[in-house]
A and B are shown apart, each in its own frame.
Chain A
């Protein structure tokens, strides 16, 4: 049962039905799914992470729901957690990553586009004493590279090209736009498409790490 003040999630059987609908081509399934889970996840995250800030909780919940709306096959019924457990784990993981990113931004305000992949690109900055960064830096570099290689193999084009640019530390949005085939769009729209692709890959990295 959901704690007081948190909109209840759908019953398990309804969640299974919603996920099945997502897997079918029905146009309204994504909206039904978002209405069923997003308010719950948002409130659940805020309740369990009172120090995290409402905006970040909302963003993390949104990212988890959006990820499954775009690619419902990420969740496989019968494997591990149920749908609600999967979404909560995913949202909590997204929140941790957002918090970590915020902490890094506080130290590296000019490096916002490549903080997650900086060391894989050979841009090691070293530890600076921040406990969150220290935790990140304990990850083994070789393992990281193997992880990124496997991740790259799992991505379809053009996301693979975008990942390659991210790994190379590329900052020029025009190059990303070219890789995505949206180079002819107006700049605002083009940049939005690039940001969305980069966010999508960051989210995939997070989820792959969580599932590893």
Chain B
């Protein structure tokens, strides 16, 4: 794995425009290192780097699901698992920044059952 790519993936953790920032929120909350995060996503560390370097999903519900689905498809990751982790990361960031800290928000982010699952959810490699 190219070190520059890993370094760039680390750099964009501080950039809310990238997936890396959401994955970092989740990993921090769960106490996961790179190997643990890769395991949570069901991928190797090279694909984890790829996911980190993707843009954060668009904020609207349809765009969010579509972007997560495409990233999952591109890096052969279970779309449902990625969606769950990214949603939790987003919720954690909002909580930390004090934007939407209402009780139950994180749970709602985890269990947003009104959204249809993205294509391929639960059927990853």
Contact = CB atoms under 8 A, between A and B. Distances in A.
B5 A30 contact: no
B71 interface: yes
Interface in B1-33: 2-5, 7-8, 11-12, 14-15, 17-19
A83 interface: no
Interface stretch (A33-41, A95-103, A116-124, A167-175): A33-41
Interface in B66-102: 67-68, 70-71, 74-75, 96-98
Nearest to A29: B55
Interface stretch (B36-44, B46-54, B106-114, B116-124): B46-54
A148 interface: no
A28 B68 CA distance: 9
9 contacts: A27-B71, A28-B71, A32-B74, A39-B2, A42-B4, A58-B3, A70-B15, A184-B97, A186-B96
Contact of B5 (A29, A35, A192, A196): A35
Interface residues of A, number: 29
Contacts of A58: 3-4, 7
B50 A27 contact: no
A196 B4 contact: no
Nearest to B5: A38
Contacts of B17: 70
Contacts, number: 79
Given A34-B53, A38-B5, A62-B4, A196 B14 contact: yes
Interface in A43-83: 58-59, 61-62, 65-66, 69-70
Nearest to A65: B8
A26 interface: yes
Main secondary structure of the interface of A (DSSP, over half): helix
Given A38-B5, A195-B14, 15 more contacts: A25-B67, A27-B70, A30-B55, A31-B51, A32-B74, A42-B2, A58-B7, A62-B7, A65-B8, A70-B15, A184-B98, A185-B96, A186-B96, A192-B14, A196-B14
A59 to B, nearest CB: 8
Interface residues of B, number: 32
Nearest to B18: A30
A66 B71 contact: no
Interface of A: 25-32, 34-35, 38-39, 42, 58-59, 61-62, 65-66, 69-70, 184-186, 189, 192-193, 195-196
B14 A34 contact: no
B14 A28 contact: no
A110 B15 CA distance: 27
A163 to B, nearest CB: 19
A38 B52 CA distance: 15
A31 B4 contact: no
Contacts of A42: 2, 4
